[in-house]
Structure 1
Amino acid sequence: MITITEKEFNQLATYIKSYYGIYLKPEKQALVMGRLQHVLMEKNFRNFTDYYDYLVSDKTGNAASILINKITTNHTFFMREAEHFDYFKDKVLPYLKNTVTDKDLRIWSAGCSSGEEPYTLAMIMDEYFGWEKHLWDSKVLATDISGSVLEKAVTGIYKSEDISALPPEWKHYYLKRQDEEHYIFQDKIKNEVIFRQFNLINRSFPFKKKFHVIFCRNVMIYFDSKTKQELVQKFYDYLEYGGYLFIGHSESLNHDDTRFKYLMPAVYRKE
C-alpha cells in the first residue's frame, strides 16, 4: 500500500476544501489513503505527491472528477428522515397549492446523491395533486457534485431491497420490475426529475427564479462553519418568501447567524 504523509494529506485536504468546500479533518487521513489507493496504482504513481502534481496539472477535469467521486460518501436511502416527507406532504404542499398562483413549483434537491430523495418528492407530489397534476409544473431539480452517483440516479434503477421502505401502492403505480433483483421508475416519475452536476460552493448560483423548497440534507456536515454559513445565506437568498429549507437531523442552523425561522427539527422557513 502507498502511504500518505501528513504533508501530502494536508495538500490534498486544502485542494478539496478550496474547490469543493469539504473539510477533511486530520483523522480522515487513513480514509483518503484507502479510497485513492487504486487510482495511484492504476496510474503507476510512486507516492501521493506525484498524484497531487498530476491532479493540479490536469486540464481535462478528469482527475478532479475521479477525486471527488472517491472522496464523497454518497450514502442515502429511500424514506430517510421520513418525517420530513410527511411535513412536505401535509404542510408545505397545501401552502404552496394555495399561494403559487402560476402553478410553477420550484423544488430543489441539493446533494441528491443517487436519486432517492428527488424521486420520493416527485411521487409525493404526483399523489398529492392527483388528477390536477397536469396543471402544475412541479419538476424537481436534483443536483450533486459527484458525476458517478448522478449516472446511477438518472437510470432510475434500484434493487428490490433498496425500495423496501416505500409504500406498496407507490411500488405498484410508480415502479416496474426490470428483472428478479431490480425495479425501475416509470417515465411519469423519471421525467419529473432533472438531474444536473453542481458544486454548492460556487461563488454564484445560475438560477433565474427562486425556489419554493430546498432540500439539502446531510451535506453541510462535510463543511466547516464558514462554508456552511455562506451556503445557508445563499439558500436564503434563492428562496421565495415563505419558502422552506430542509436540512439533515445531524445538522442545525445557528439562530444568531441566520434569518431563517425554525419550524421543527431540521426544517426552517424564510419569513
Structure 2
Amino acid sequence: MATALSQLIGELEPGQMDDLAFQRWVRLLESRTGVTVPLERKPFLVTGLRRRMREAGFSDFGVYYNELLNGARGQMEWASLVDHLTVHETRFFRHLPSLALIQDQWLPGWLAKAPADQSLHALSVGCSTGEEAYTLAMVLDEGLGRAEPPRRFGITATDVSQPALSVARAGAYAAHRLEEIPEPYRGRAVELDSTGNLRVVDRLRRRIGFACVNLLHATRAPLRQLDLIYCQNVLIYFARDRRGELLDGLARLLRPNGLLVLGAGEITAWTHPQLTRTSGRQTLAFLRNS
C-alpha cells in the first residue's frame, strides 16, 4: 500500500505524473532555483525528469524525488538534473541591437567618465556554454583596445549548469560556429585548433571567470562593483512577481554610469530610483545614475 508521501509526489509509471505530483516538483524547483514551470510546460518537465532518471537508474518519480533530498548525494544528483532541465540554446552575437547599444552608445560615455586607470568589470548572467560571455569579451576588447590609453576588462560569467560551464571554460566549439561571428572579430578573437574546432584565443579566455551561481543568489556572490551586467533570456524562467526583486539586487551591484542590459520584453513595469531607461532600438537597458 502506497505511503502518504508517495501519494503526494506521484508513485506512477514513468511518463505519468498527476497534477498534485507536478505541483510538488514545481515547488521544489522554485525553492531551489527560483525557476517557475507553468502547467502548460508540464510535458517539458516530465521529459527532462524521465531522461535523467533513466541515466541515473530510477523508474519511479517518488523514489527519485526522495533521492534528491538525500543529503550530499542528493545535491550531486540535483546538479545533474538541473542540467537536463536547463535550456542551453545560445550562439555568438545572439542579439545584435543590445551589443550595438553597448559598443556604440554606452562604452564611449563610460570611457569619457571613468578614470584613466579604471578597469571595466562585467557580469554575464546565465552564460550557458559561454558564447554570450565570449561575445562580450570580443566587443569589449575591440572598444577598449582603441581607447587612449587602452583599458583592461574582466568578465564574470555565471550559470546553474556545471556541464555547460565546463564547455564554456574550454572555449572550443564546432568549426561551423565561425559563421556566427562577424568578420571583423574573427582574426583577433578565434582560431582553429589541431582538431579543426573553433577555439577562442587564450588572450580573451583569460579575461573571463566562469562560476556556478544561481541568479537568486547573485547578490550574495563575491562580486565587485560592476560596470556592465548582461542578463538576457534569463528572467523569463522566473515568476513575474520575483523578477523585480532579482533586478533590484542586480541594480545594487552597478557602479555609477554602469549599464544593465535585459532581453527586450522580459519585464515591462520595473523601475528603480537609481536607474534610468536608456534608449535603443529593440533593446531594454538601464543606466545607473552618476
Please state how far the C-alpha of 1:5 moved relative to its aligned partner: 2.4
* Cα deviation 1:96-120 (Å, max 9, x = unaligned): 2122213221111111111111111
- 1:210 aligned partner: 225
Gap change, CA 1:198 and 1:261, over 3 Å in 2 = same
Asked if the contact 1:108/1:140 (under 8 Å) is kept, the reply is: yes
Match of 1:226 among 235, 241, 260: 241
Inter-partner Cα distance in structure 1 for 2:218 and 2:139: 32
Q: Where do 5+ consecutive residues of structure 1 fail to align?
A: none
Partners of 1:126 and 1:133 within 8 A in 2:
no
Which of structures 1 and 2 has the bigger CA Rg? 2
Aligned 1:125-144 pairs, distance under 5 A: 125-130=140-145, 136-144=151-159
Mapped pair 1:67 → 2:81: yes
Rounded to whole Å, the distance in 1 between the matches of 2:261 and 2:221 is: 21
Shift of 1:143: 0.8
Number of the residue aligned with 1:241: 256
SS in 2 for 1:143: strand
Of 156, 175, 181 in structure 1, the residue corresponding to residue 190 of structure 2 is 175
Mean Cα deviation higher: 154-163 or 138-147:
154-163
Equivalent residue, structure 1, for 2:58: 45
- Cα drift, residue 74 of structure 1: 2.0
How much has 1:258 moved relative to structure 2? 3.2
Write out aligned runs for 1:63-102 (5 A). 63-101=77-115, 102=117
- 1:81 and 1:228 map into 2 onto residues whose CA distance is 21
Would you say 1:26 and 2:17 are equivalent positions? Answer: no
Contact 1:218 1:250 in 2 (8 A): no
Distance in 1 (CA, whole Å) between partners of 2:128 and 2:149 is 27
> Partners of 1:9 and 1:105 in 2: how far apart?
44
Q: Partner of 1:75: helix, strand, or coil?
A: coil
**Residue in structure 2 matching 1:193, options 208, 233, 243:** 208
Of 53, 57, 79, 2:70 maps to 57
| Distance in 2 separating the partners of 1:77 and 1:193 | 17
Count how many residue pairs are aligned between Structure 1 and Structure 2: 270
Residue 241 of structure 1 and its aligned partner are, at CA, apart by 2.2
After superposition, give the CA deviation of every residue in 1:65-102 in whole Å (9 maximum; x if it has no partner).
01211111121111111011111111221122122213
Cα distance, 1:248 vs. partner?
0.8
Out of 166, 173, 180, which is 1:165 matched to?
A: 180
Identical-residue share of aligned pairs (%) = 23
Report if aligned partners of 1:221, 1:250 keep a CA contact under 8 Å in 2.
Answer: no
Alignment RMSD (CA, Å)? 2.0
- Work out whether residues 277 and 287 of structure 2, in 8 Å CA contact, stay in contact via their aligned partners in 1: yes
Q: CA deviation at 1:132?
A: 5.6
Instruction: Output aligned runs, 1:138-153, within 5 Å.
Output: 138-153=153-168
Select between 225-234 and 158-167 the one with higher mean Cα deviation: 158-167
Please say if residues 3 and 47 of structure 1, whose CA atoms lie closer than 8 Å, have aligned partners that are also in contact: no
Instruction: Assess, with a 3 A threshold, how the Cα gap between structure 1 residues 203 and 252 changes in structure 2: closer, same or farther.
Output: closer
Question: 1:218-258 deviations in whole A, cap 9, x for unaligned?
Answer: 10000012221110100111111221110112312414x53
Q: Do the aligned partners of residues 70 and 156 (structure 1) sit closer, same or farther apart at CA in structure 2, a change above 3 Å counting?
A: same
Deviation at 1:130, TM superposition (A): 2.6
CA–CA distance in structure 2, aligned partners of residues 53 and 201 of structure 1: 24
* CA contact 1:4–1:47 (8 Å) conserved in 2: no
Task: Tell which deviates more after alignment, 184-193 or 196-205.
Answer: 196-205
Which secondary structure state, in structure 2, belongs to the residue aligned with residue 207 of structure 1? coil
CA distance in 2, matches of 1:40, 1:119: 33
2:162 maps to a residue whose letter is G
